[in-house]
Amino acid sequence: MPTIKSSDLVINQAISASAPDSLLTIDVESENPLSTGTYEFQLVVTDDSGNNSAPATVRITIADDKAPTAVIDAPNRVGFAEDFSLSGRRSIDIGGKLTKFVWTLIKTP
């Protein structure tokens, strides 16, 4: 079974395997994942007489389907009539970037 790291994929560079090995595994590195978008792969098979098949193609869409993680940094205690700040700076989004921070007061004493 051929395995290739996602960072080693090159457009129009063939990856061969001898029969009966029909599986290609793409090892997606978490520190360098594939960008979102549509990727197209092609397969051509060869028989024992050297005849090649017509190409078969498949489109795979890499989608950012992971929700971001909100993280709040705030003081545990604030003196009466003192200003304070809430920070969402440590919030993260794997596979994309944060575009909005919406703050809502949800409870009072």
Beta strands at 56-62 and 37-43: parallel, antiparallel or unpaired? antiparallel
Residue 34 burial by CB count (10 A; 0-12/13-18/19+): exposed, middle or buried?
Answer: middle
Q: pLDDT tens digits for 48-73?
A: 999 999 999 999 999 988 899 999 99
pLDDT of residue 107: 95
Domain locations in the chain?
3-62
CA distance 61 to 43: 17
- Contact residues for 61 (Cβ-Cβ < 8 A; gap 6+): 37, 38, 39
Query: Which pTM was predicted?
Result: 0.69
Q: What is the pLDDT of residue 33?
A: 86
| Per-position pLDDT tens, the chain of length 109 | 789 999 899 999 999 988 888 999 999 988 888 988 999 999 999 999 999 999 999 999 999 888 999 999 999 999 999 999 999 999 999 878 899 999 999 999 9
